[in-house]
Homo-oligomer: A and B are copies of this chain.
């Protein structure tokens, strides 16, 4: 019935992403994080002293939308901002932020493993390179 739609890569991509994000969101909510916030924390942990603009470019988040996101992370005591010059702010994790992304990161790793486990073995190793070829 829906086989026609499921044969469209674009449609399958949309449904798969919606399904996966719909499952990940409540897991991260258990850590009081949204998906975009977790992505920011993972990136900031990986690379120190990034600015808001740099984070936005890397994660495809508009500068304007970074403001409330970072404000919330800062209010929660997970990041702190330090002037680089009179124009830019370096963003880094606080101790609490490190602890938070450590525990949330473990939940994410488990989630990602379970996600890959759903894919039949013969297709599994092809998923990531195929997806990254589409957007990178």
Contact = CB atoms under 8 A, between A and B. Distances in A.
Interface of A, secondary structure class, is helix
A109 B122 CA distance: 27
Interface residues of A, number: 52
B42 A1 contact: no
A123 interface: yes
A42 to B, nearest CB: 6
Given A13-B16, A13-B17, A15-B135, A39 B5 contact: yes
> Which of A2, A18, A42, A47 has its CB near the most chain B CB atoms (within 10 A)?
A2
Nearest to A46: B4
> Which of A6, A15, A18, A122 has its CB near the most chain B CB atoms (within 10 A)?
A15
Interface of A: 1-2, 4-21, 24, 35, 39, 42-43, 46-47, 58-60, 108, 111-112, 115-116, 118-120, 122-124, 126-136
